[in-house]
Amino acid sequence: MSAQIPEVRSTEQLREKWMKPEVITGSEILLRSLLLEGVECVFGYPGGAVLYIYDAMYGFEDFKHVLTRHEQGAIHAADGYARASGKVGVCIATSGPGATNLVTGIATAYMDSVPLVVITGNVATTLIGTDAFQEADITGITMPITKHSYLVRDVKELPRVIHEAFHIASTGRKGPVLIDIPKDVSAALTLFEPSSNAVNLRGYNPRMVPNKLQLDKLAQAIEEAERPMILAGGGVIYSGGHEALFEFVKRTEIPITTTLLGLGAFPSGHELWTGMPGMHGTYTSNIAIQESDLLINIGARFDDRVTGKLDGFAPHAKIVHIDIDPAEIGKNVPTDIPIVGDVKTVLEMLNPEVKRAAKADAWRTRIQQLKMEQPFRYQDSDTVLKPQWVIEMLNETTRGEAIVTTDVGQHQMWSAQYYKFNQPRSWITSGGLGTMGFGLPSAIGAQMAHPERLVISINGDGGMQMCSQELAICAINNIPVKVVIINNQVLGMVRQWQELIYDNRYSHIDLEGSPDFVKLAEAYGVKGLRATNKEEARKAWAEALETPGPVVVEFVVSKGENVYPMVTQGSTIDQMLLGDA
């Protein structure tokens, strides 16, 4: 069976075919408008309020839709598609429970600034507010977790609304936009007049170009700094600014740390890269931030998992914050040099003006010493399979070139620590919300975006059970995702906290009685493999890589392994638990 991954179609070809004015239904307007926005694939699940929309899909060969097995799977797949491709992800669900099942995925995308257009059906306009069957105020429910939302009451507004939604989702600080379409609107007839004009929304004008005087201040601060440090986040990747960042580091020779969502924004093999900072970051990154006299934040939001105790964060540093969202600057950490603008634009303007940080030679030596003194380490075993070793094996056998998605928990942190990313959009994980169940469906979306790439979904045995039904999509469409399960028979990160912080009071974390994951995979028509030691692991993973379709590989690992380093809540990031390794 060949993979049912949609071919990329020319937007210009679609324009010529579908822009002709004619009287059609709101549902047909929606499908045509999505095609005209360049949408390649939509993930969704039908229901009563969107039946006119799904009826319009019948026989519509240009429109590609993937039927997931749960609405949460649909929105996580759209999210993974968006993160991997840089395009807007799209999903569709019906009213009421269908729409509310999307809430977790919307919040996930909102926290991580992922561009989505989320389409929901609703009851007819005449029934709104009557508590009709499967009615929910989804625009009200999601107001805090969307960039913008629309309740479309007139079919004539649909082309404009869809065009605006894509503009809002994909510009400025990216994020999800919701379009709620009542059933009678999707059924109504009107003359289709595509909206292709430039969007001009009052009050929405993201600032792309920074203040030149602020760039001059930063250039001067770099010249004067003796211990400069760069903190780069997901904003670098979302703006397409990774090449400009590399040039900036090349010119200044400033050491750089990348956040969880910033992994891949800078090559992990570079001598100036210090790893990830924060709660489970490297010793080098955390000490360097604390000792720095100039901290240049590029596209990160000073999340609490990065900063630790705020009043002890980077105590000696002048803080520079570059971000497209002015609301983030100064929100958590007082900022000395605020720079509002698109990261790529800022760096491209800045690069010709900056020079090598000449006073930082001793600092660069100090960084290299820290890297040698305290690398990531663990106690390996020849009898028990260690999860860190599994991630190292995945990295070595794929040369760090795969797209890796993860669920949330210990395996997520080990993946961030031991898999080495050298390309942007190769690391897809739920950062801000920490959503279990994200790993598998996001991998499906990533594979749809890049059918030519190897996509690995790394999951824990807990999170895997939250969206395991999406294995059906892999089997039916022959989507060749390699699904890795790090099975420690326990909710690992919760167990670690209960061990270290709650005096070994292990409460409701035992996952014994979970399904046989090999049999579960086979029940869906997917090859399933299991490994309990290194020899079996190498063999099973080699077989998975040689298999052209989807494969589930379960690695049974030691139960009591902890993620180190670890910064506990209420501590500064230089107060790390390093473990006994």
Whether 133 is catalytic is yes
- Contact, 452 vs 446, CB < 8 A? no
Residue 443 burial (CB count, 10 A): 33
Task: List CB contacts of 166: < 8 A, sequence separation 6 or more.
Answer: 37, 88, 117, 177
Q: For residue 80, give the nearest of 91, 69, 65 by alpha carbon.
A: 91
52 CB-near residues (< 8 Å, 6+ apart): 25, 26, 27, 183, 186, 187
Structure tokens at 427: 């690391």
Residue 233 identity? G
Catalytic residue chosen out of the listed positions 28, 71, 470, 554: 71
Note the Cα 369 to chain centre separation in Å.
Answer: 33
551-556/482-487 β-pairing: parallel
Q: How far is CA 501 from CA 494, 495, 567, in A?
A: 10, 10, 11
* Amino acid identity, position 112: D
Question: Is 19 one of the catalytic residues?
Answer: no
Compute the distance between CA of residue 340 and CA of residue 320 in angstroms, rounded to an integer: 11
Catalytic residue among 229, 493, 566, 576: 493
Active-site residue among 4, 134, 469, 498?
A: 134
Upper half-sphere CA count for residue 83 (Cβ side, 13 Å): 40
Which residues make Cβ contacts (< 8 Å) with residue 112, sequence separation at least 6? 83, 234, 261, 430, 431, 432, 433
Catalytic residue, candidates 13, 17, 20, 133: 133
**Which residues lie below 8 Å from residue 489, measured CB to CB, with a gap of 6+?**
461, 510, 511, 512, 514, 559
Q: Which residues contact 9 (CB under 8 A, 6 or more apart)?
A: 35, 40, 62
Kindly state the DSSP code that residue 358 receives in the 8-state scheme: G
Q: How many helices (H) and strands (E) does the chain have?
A: 23, 19
- Concatenate the DSSP letters of all residues of 472-517 into one string: HHHHHHT---EEEEEE-SB-HHHHHHHHHTSTT---S-B-TT---H
**522 bridge partner residues:** none
Tokens of 101: 């099942």
Contact 113, 131 (CB under 8 A): no
Active-site annotation holds for 134? yes
Spatial CA neighbour of 518 closest among 453, 443, 464: 464
Asked if residues 482 and 550 have their Cβ atoms less than 8 Å apart, the reply is yes
Catalytic residues: 71, 133-134, 183, 493
